[in-house]
Amino acid sequence: MSETKKGRRRPDIIQNTPEWLAWRKIGGSDAAVLMGISPWCSVTELYERKLGLIPDIVVNAAMQRGHDLEPEARLLLEIETGLSLPAACYEDTEHPFLTASVDGISSNEEIISEIKCPGLNTHLKALNKVIPAYYIPQCQHNMGVTGAKLCYYYSYLPDNENVEATIRLSVLRDEDYIGRMRERCIKFQQCLDTQTPPDEDWFGVKDAGLLNGTSRSDPAWKMALKEFLEARNVLLDAKLQYKARVERIEQLMSRKKQMLVIGNGVRLERIEDPNGCWRIDVSLQTEEDN
């Protein structure tokens, strides 16, 4: 297995500053759009935003609330895990347009955090061990760029006495998923570079990856499974045909205890071993045999 590549840390970039806004290219918040599963934005809308053809997202009350609560949530996560998890900015070493603004990263860069301060319904999903599908790409993208192996999805809802305020779920790095996502990111960047509108059909194929830890149902997985089953059926059919032909050869050679058959470059010999069991040896006929 090849070693996971780590991204380049950018200590000169501070989140939520004008420099940060100018530095961001294709980040974790764009990942769900490019994987076709964002409930808020289409790939065409994202393309137009990136080129400045339409206004960027305006920060609403819910977004501002999440931003304000993030330091509290980070402190609670650090106490819970015993880790220091400062926010940081990274960019991919091979494709610098792939950027990640992580909510936290461990000193060995193997663990990152994705902090959410959502509404009640989304928080309840986390309490039931379910991460919303549209957050999976963000976690995987940020692991892909930083090189981290694990992402803590941390949901924080401090103002509801009826539910637990925090829940931490683990998202493991999925190299195969990151590869599929990277392909889409590169294709999207090419659209931006050439100012060619993205193909809605191509980007619209939903690829949500491993959502619930036990099964997948996204189109990319279904296609791979279909191709696997087709190849498997071909293999099984070939095995059945081979078995039938061996049986036929055995029938034709059964009248004598030993028979040598030469034809089409193949030599077949029916041999009885010391235990009284029959076998058929198959070998290629060489020029010396002629």
Other CB atoms within 10 A of residue 211 CB? 16
**Domain membership flag for residue 231:** no
Q: What is the pLDDT of residue 1?
A: 45
Give domain status of residue 233, yes or no: no
234, part of any domain? no
Query: Per-residue confidence of the chain (290 residues) as pLDDT tens digits?
Result: 456 778 999 999 999 899 998 999 999 999 999 999 999 999 999 999 999 999 988 888 988 999 999 999 999 999 999 999 999 999 999 999 999 999 999 999 999 999 999 999 999 999 999 999 999 999 999 999 999 999 999 999 998 999 999 999 999 999 989 999 999 999 999 999 999 999 998 898 888 776 545 566 666 677 778 888 999 999 999 999 988 887 877 777 765 555 666 666 667 777 777 776 666 666 665 555 54
Q: Are residues 259 and 177 in the same domain?
A: no
Same domain, 149 and 277: no
**Residue 264 maps to a domain:** yes
For 154, the 3-state DSSP assignment is strand
What angle, rounded to 10 degrees, do the helices at 43-50 and 175-194 form?
50
pLDDT of residue 223: 75
Give yes or no: residues 42 and 175 share one domain: yes
Alpha-carbon distances, residue 274 vs 234, 277, 278, 280 (angstroms)? 37, 7, 10, 14
The verdict on residue 127 lying in a domain is yes
Under a CB-based contact definition with an 8 Å cutoff, are residues 148 and 85 in contact?
no
Please indicate, yes or no, whether residues 282 and 151 belong to a single structural domain of this protein: no
Question: Pairing mode, if any, of strands 88-91 and 99-102?
Answer: antiparallel
> Is the same domain home to 94 and 204?
yes
Instruction: Identify the CATH number of the domain in which residue 103 sits.
Output: 3.90.320.10
In this predicted structure, what is the pLDDT of residue 245?
83
* 145 and 207 co-located in one domain: yes
Whether residue 156 contacts residue 140, with contact meaning beta carbons closer than 8 Å, is answered with no
Residue 178: which domain range?
8-215
Give the pLDDT of residue 261.
63
Q: What is the per-residue DSSP string for 64-78?
A: HHHHHHHHHHHHHHH
- Domain's final residue, options 167, 196, 215: 215
Query: 88 in a domain, yes or no?
Result: yes
Domain contains 240: no
Mark which of 215, 232, 262 sits at the end of a domain. 215
Q: Answer yes or no: do 69 and 136 share one domain.
A: yes
If one counts the domains in the chain, the total is: 2
Residue 259 lies in a domain: yes
Q: Give the C-alpha separation, 100 to 27, whole Å.
A: 5
Same domain, 168 and 116: yes
Instruction: Give yes or no: residues 272 and 148 share one domain.
Output: no
Could you tell me which residues are beta bridge partners of residue 150? 111, 172
In what side-by-side order are the strands of the sheet with 150-156?
104-105, 111-116, 150-156, 166-172
Instruction: Give the global pTM.
Output: 0.73
Domain boundary among 215, 243, 275: 215
C-alpha dist (Å) from residue 38 to 13, 30, 137, 207: 27, 9, 10, 11
Do 48 and 178 lie in one domain? The reply is: yes
Spatial strand order in the sheet of 8-9 = 8-9, 88-91, 99-102
**Domain shared by 139 and 263, yes or no:** no
Same domain? 207 vs 276: no
Within 8 A by CB and 6+ apart from 186, the residues are 95
